[in-house]
């Protein structure tokens, strides 16, 4: 899974700041999934994007969270006005097609809100 | 409403013995099931999967069993090795869409 690159690996933000998490999919992959893992829990689906399109955002909180996957460049998960409850590990997975069952995960970004 | 449940948070086995990790699901529309292995500070790594049209899939030391009537699947690791110590996540999907994960089982294999 080293092919999916997430950065930064660790991110510390103060309450009220913005957090930007980046995900570069594996070469040739045009589908990206974002998951969040809270402590002692499993991964929870947030959003599924294809190049320039949001396909499924049913897991995204209604406020403060947004995601994009532009034609050029990495996918970005943006969290505005972070709160302590946003502290978690955020994982990105990419796949060559629609089948998320063939997705490869990145190493994650650990966000800590202080 | 947790649709995928791993009721055992942890499991400890002796090296060389069998490890059995269990997973239950509630959504009968799930048609594909996966097991992932995760080490600390790393992303999940795909281990093995099974389609709902099968009841068993084997890959080396790893075998996944699916009991659709009971909505239950299990991962068997034989023989267990210390390097297998990790968190194992069960996941399920519908129509190859997003995966729904369980909370994980921490497996410890003692030498």
pLDDT in tens, A33-75: 999 999 878 899 999 999 889 999 999 999 999 999 998 899 9
pLDDT at A100: 65
**Nearest Cα residue to B23 out of B50, B10, B4:** B4
State whether A42 and B103 contact (CB < 8 Å). Answer: yes
CB B100 within 8 A of CB A33: no
Chain A touched by B88 (CB under 8 Å): no
pLDDT at B2: 85
pLDDT at B97: 78
Sign of the four-CA dihedral A110, A113, B4, B10 = positive
pLDDT band per the 50, 70, 90 thresholds, residue A6: very high
| Contact residues on chain A for B86, CB-CB shorter than 8 A | none
Distance CA(B10)–CA(B12), nearest Å, equals: 7
Chain A touched by B32 (CB under 8 Å): yes
**What's the mean per-residue pLDDT of chain B?**
95
Mutate to test the interface with A, among B52, B98, B99 (most CBs of A within 10 A): B98
CA angle A24, A29, B52 (to 5 degrees): 120
pLDDT at A2: 52
pLDDT at A96: 84
pLDDT at B96: 74
Closest CB to B93: pick one of A4, A35, A101. A101
Residue B78 has φ and ψ, to the nearest 5°, of -140, 125
Looking at chain A, the whole-number percentage of residues with pLDDT higher than 70 is 96
Residue B68, min C-alpha distance to chain A (Å): 19
pLDDT at A4: 95
CA angle B76, A40, A50 (to 5 degrees): 80
Closest CB to A1: pick one of B43, B100, B103. B43
Q: B2-24, pLDDT tens digit by residue?
A: 899 999 999 999 999 999 999 99
Distance CA(A11)–CA(A22), nearest Å, equals: 11
Distance CA(A27)–CA(B89), nearest Å, equals: 26
Residue B42, min C-alpha distance to chain A (Å): 5
State whether A42 and B34 contact (CB < 8 Å). Answer: no
pLDDT at A1: 45
Q: B33-92, pLDDT tens digit by residue?
A: 999 999 988 999 999 999 999 999 999 999 999 999 999 999 999 999 999 999 999 999
Tokens representing residue A63 in the block:
């406020």
State whether A45 and B98 contact (CB < 8 Å). Answer: yes
Q: What is the DSSP string of B5-66?
A: E---SEEEEETTS-EEEEEEE--TT--EEEEEEE-TTS--EEEEEEETT-SEEEETTEEEEE
Mutate to test the interface with B, among A40, A41, A42, A88 (most CBs of B within 10 A): A42
């Amino acid at each position: 899974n080293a092919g999916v690159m997430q950065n930064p690996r660790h991110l510390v933000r103060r309450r009220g700041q913005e957090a930007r998490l980046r995900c570069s999919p594996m070469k040739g992959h045009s589908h990206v999934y974002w998951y969040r893992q809270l402590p002692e829990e499993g991964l929870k689906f947030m959003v599924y994007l294809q190049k320039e399109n949001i396909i499924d955002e049913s897991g995204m909180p209604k406020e403060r969270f947004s995601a994009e996957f532009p034609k050029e460049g990495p996918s970005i998960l943006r969290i505005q006005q972070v709160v302590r409850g946003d502290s978690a590990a955020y994982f990105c997975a990419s796949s060559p097609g629609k089948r998320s069952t063939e997705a490869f995960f990145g190493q994650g970004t650990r966000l800590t809100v202080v | 409403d947790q649709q995928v449940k791993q009721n055992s948070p942890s499991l400890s086995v002796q090296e060389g013995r069998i490890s059995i990790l269990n997973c239950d699901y509630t959504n009968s529309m799930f048609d594909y099931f996966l097991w992932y292995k995760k080490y600390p500070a790393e992303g999940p790594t795909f281990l093995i999967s099974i389609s709902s049209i099968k009841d068993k899939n084997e890959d080396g030391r790893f075998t996944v069993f699916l009991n659709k009537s009971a909505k239950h699947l299990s991962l068997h690791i034989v023989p267990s090795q210390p390097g297998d110590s990790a968190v194992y996540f069960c996941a399920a999907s519908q129509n190859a869409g997003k995966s729904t994960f369980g909370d994980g089982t921490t497996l410890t294999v003692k030498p």
